[in-house]
Chains A and B, each alone.
Chain A
Amino acid sequence: GENVEQHPSTLSVQEGDSAVIKCTYSDSASNYFPWYKQELGKRPQLIIDIRSNVGEKKDQRIAVTLNKTAKHFSLHITETQPEDSAVYFCAPSRWGYNKLIFGAGTRLAVHP
């Protein structure tokens, strides 16, 4: 079955620093690469996604980069703020497929 790994499992940064979380997957047919953010006590919500015909996508302080050959994609957060503190999940899948497998999550703590 599909194997999804996230690294690191925890990440602690100072406010203003950058944070990078990597997601590695095994299903070579994956063509949709989203990142979800889950704040404490809240539901997971999509924050950015990318499809396999694009190598990078940026939305203000967050970006996702994709290396399809190596089967990994990364979430980049620049100028981190305390409100970025949350658990982040990747969920690589096939577009329109009825199965979302999430990585184990990365707990990001941004210290003022």
Chain B
Amino acid sequence: DTAVSQTPKYLVTQMGNDKSIKCEQNLGHDTMYWYKQDSKKFLKIMFSYNNKELIINETVPNRFSPKSPDKAHLNLHINSLELGDSAVYFCASSHRDRGSEAFFGQGTRLTVV
């Protein structure tokens, strides 16, 4: 039973294209995140949503737009993809009342060519 699942696992696309990554959690958590992990393994927070509301929006280009249709889903849409967007994107979730342990999805390896 997958706790945090994201699709697709791999995404190869050309510069300039628009793509989406989907994330769903079945843990009943109220907070969901998107992280970007570059080739040096640095995990950088991009967005944080609590109960469908945007809480954190780090210095991320406007080309990245998160959408949370409900508490269990947080999707990431990326417009006009650039070479520098190539990375592994992780979705994660946690629950405010149960501390801060984050449960991560399997990651989406995005390659822009």
Question: Taking beta carbons and an 8 Å cutoff, which residues of A are in contact with B?
Answer: 32, 34, 36, 38, 42-46, 49, 87, 89, 91, 93-102, 104-105, 107
Across-interface contacts of A100 in B (CB, < 8 A): 33, 45, 92, 94, 100, 102
CB of B95, distance to nearest CB on chain A (Å): 8
User: At the interface, yes or no: B84 with Cβ under 8 Å from chain A?
Assistant: no
Inter-chain contacts of A38 with B (CB < 8 A): 41
Q: Which residue of A lies closest to B105 (CB)?
A: A43
| A107 near B41: Cβ-Cβ < 8 Å | yes
Minimum CB–CB distance for A87 against chain B, Å: 5
Closest 6 CB pairs of A and B: A43-B104, A102-B43, A96-B96, A98-B55, A105-B41, A98-B31
Q: Is the CB of B43 within 8 A of A98?
A: no
- Is B83 engaged at the interface, CB distance under 8 Å to the other chain? no
Q: What is the distance, in angstroms, from A85's C-beta to the closest C-beta of chain B?
A: 13
- The answer to whether B48 and A87 touch across the interface, beta carbons within 8 angstroms, is no
With A43-B104, A44-B104, A45-B104 given, is the CB distance from A96 to B43 under 8 Å?
no
B50 proximal to A (CB < 8 A): yes
- Most A CB atoms within 10 A — which of B55, B56, B102, B106? B102
User: Given A44-B43, A98-B50, A105-B42, A34 and B100 touching (CB < 8 A)?
Assistant: yes
Q: Which residues of B contact A34 (CB under 8 A)?
A: 100-101
- Whether A93 lies near B100 (C-beta < 8 A) is yes
Which one, B56, B94, B99, B106, contacts A43 given CB within 8 A? B106
Q: Which residues of B contact A89 (CB under 8 A)?
A: 43
Nearest CB of B to A14, in Å: 23
Which among B35, B56, B99 is the interface contact of A96 at CB below 8 angstroms? B99
CB proximity of A49 to chain B, nearest CB, Å: 7
Flag if B56 contacts A98 (CB, 8 Å): yes
B35 surroundings in chain A (CB, below 8 A): 102
